[in-house]
A and B are shown apart, each in its own frame.
Chain A
Amino acid sequence: GQQVMQIPQYQHVQEGEDFTTYCNSSTTLSNIQWYKQRPGGHPVFLIQLVKSGEVKKQKRLTFQFGEAKKNSSLHITATQTTDVGTYFCAGPGTGGFKTIFGAGTRLFVKA
């Protein structure tokens, strides 16, 4: 069945270091969404990418959608302690399901 895989599962960084999480789909996606979930919190929508090769920025966060629309990445420049949490990608599902979420990448930032 359709899968959305994220790597790495978790990453520890020193504050100020960069961080990247990657999302790979087994099928071509019409769009991809990214969410952030703080520890103990709920997922919060960050952004949606639609176009092949699209790049969007939100302050220190850079989001990319691959040319083949099967992969995406989120890059954080100069991480801060406020960046801690789990980052999820999500894409439209097949078989009648609305959205397939990746398992997430948990980011730990050491001050």
Chain B
Amino acid sequence: NAGVTQTPKFQVLKTGQSMTLQCAQDMNHNSMYWYRQDPGMGLRLIYYSASEGTTDKGEVPNGYNVSRLNKREFSLRLESAAPSQTSVYFCASLPRQGIGYTFGSGTRLTVV
């Protein structure tokens, strides 16, 4: 059972470049989430999708877009990367009963 799979694991971008972070879960969870983690600031919600076909902004959505492609996949896109987006990005999913996120292994993104 793979759980939540994220790609890529590492990425270096130049300012202004775009990229898409991929996430897929095989646990048949309805809800999926994108968090960013910065030192000393815990996990902050970027976007989430409560169910297939819906997406909503989280705490820090500026500079990002998302797509819930189907029940399994939830991608995060940076249209024009900025150094402030240097962070570790985690995708997560939540079972219907709402107890306990399952996180992917993360994408370590550096924007230079």
Which residues from chain A sit less than 8 Å from chain B, CB to CB? 9, 33, 35, 41-45, 48, 88, 90, 93, 96-99, 101-104
Contacts and interface: CB of A to CB of B under 8 A. Distances in A.
Contacts of A90: 43
Interface stretch (B13-21, B77-85, B95-103): B95-103
Contacts, number: 45
A43 B42 CA distance: 11
A43 B43 contact: yes
B90 A33 contact: no
B103 A42 contact: yes
B53 interface: no
A103 B35 CA distance: 13
Contacts of B101: 35, 43, 45, 99
B103 A103 contact: no
Given A97-B59, A98-B33, A43 B103 contact: yes
A9 to B, nearest CB: 7
A104 B42 contact: yes
Given A41-B105, A42-B106, A99 B90 contact: no
A103 B90 CA distance: 15
Given A96-B56, A97-B58, A98-B33, A45 B102 contact: yes
Contact of B104 (A42, A88, A101, A102): A42
A33 to B, nearest CB: 7
